Amino acid sequence: MRLAKALAVTIGLALLSAVPTVDNPEAWKGLTPAQIARVKKGEVLILDQDTSGSGEQKRFIRAAIIFNQPIDKTWQLFKKTENQDRYLPDLDRCQLVSRNAKGDQVDFHVSLLGIAIDYRIHHVYDDANCQLSWGLDPSYDNDMKRVDGFWHLYKYDDTHTLGRYGTQVEVMSFFPEFIMTRLTRSNLPVNMEAVKKYIDSGGTYIKPGFKG
């Protein structure tokens, strides 16, 4: 019995030590010392790059945020991908289609000035590295041309987690330009702040007007 308990403790410590930390060079990759300092002070840092070309509207967006939750709690909250309509302002509703140990599929429904946008996202869980990645489900009739992205989490200390976010968004050519602007530049700071509120609250934050 003592041997079993000792083994369980050893395994638990090994798993704890395997958690990604901010000592990993990838944690701060692409950020200047000044930007890192801003993130450490609590700023939600957003880097927005226009990659449009040949008449196509494309954007590559990155962000860095420190959440006021330990990494294990933060990771479990991010895996509840079907809860995003509770806190993201422009997301009307989302529905869980399927889930297994490796990931899930969720339908997203957005309405901007009377224009309905529907698409299905396939999320992939990497529990060992606390990484969530996603992309469009090609079997679904998506109104978006491309929505790829990730959240990579790193332990900052026992009560804080660094989150690195990235996404590439491309809308169909028949959508007006303001749709792309709204989905990326104009609403991104608000969305990132909403994500922080949701994580920092332990998943209890709900956006104003949400009816469930």
- Unique residue bearing structure tokens 């339908």: 107
How far apart are the C-alpha atoms of 22 and 95, rounded to whole Å? 33
Residue 152 and residue 26 in contact, taking contact as beta carbons nearer than 8 Å: yes
**Closest CA relative to residue 149, chosen from 139, 159, 163, 162:** 163
Phi, psi of 56 (to 5 degrees): -95, 145
How far apart are the C-alpha atoms of 47 and 62, rounded to whole Å? 5
Q: Could you tell me where the DSSP H helices lie in the chain?
A: 2-17, 33-40, 71-78, 177-181, 188-200
Higher pLDDT, 1 or 122: 122
Helix axes 71-78, 188-200, angle to 10 degrees: 120
pLDDT in tens, 132-154: 999 999 999 998 888 999 999 99
Domains present along the chain, CATH in parentheses: 2-200 (3.30.530.20)
How far apart are the C-alpha atoms of 164 and 62, rounded to whole Å? 7
The arrangement of strands across the sheet holding 103-112 comes to 45-50, 58-67, 160-171, 144-157, 131-136, 115-126, 103-112, 91-100
> Which residues, other chains included, contact 171 with Cβ-Cβ below 8 Å and sequence gap of 6+?
57, 144, 145, 179, 180, 183
pLDDT in tens, 156-192: 999 999 999 998 887 765 566 666 565 555 578 889 9
Q: Buried b vs exposed e over 26-42: b needs ≥16 C-beta within 10 Å? A: ebbeebeeeebeebeee
How far apart are the C-alpha atoms of 59 and 66, rounded to whole Å? 23
pLDDT in tens, 83-120: 999 999 989 999 999 999 999 999 999 887 778 889 99
Residue 152 and residue 20 in contact, taking contact as beta carbons nearer than 8 Å: yes
pTM for the whole structure = 0.85
pLDDT at 173: 58
Give yes or no for residue 35 having a pLDDT over 50.
yes
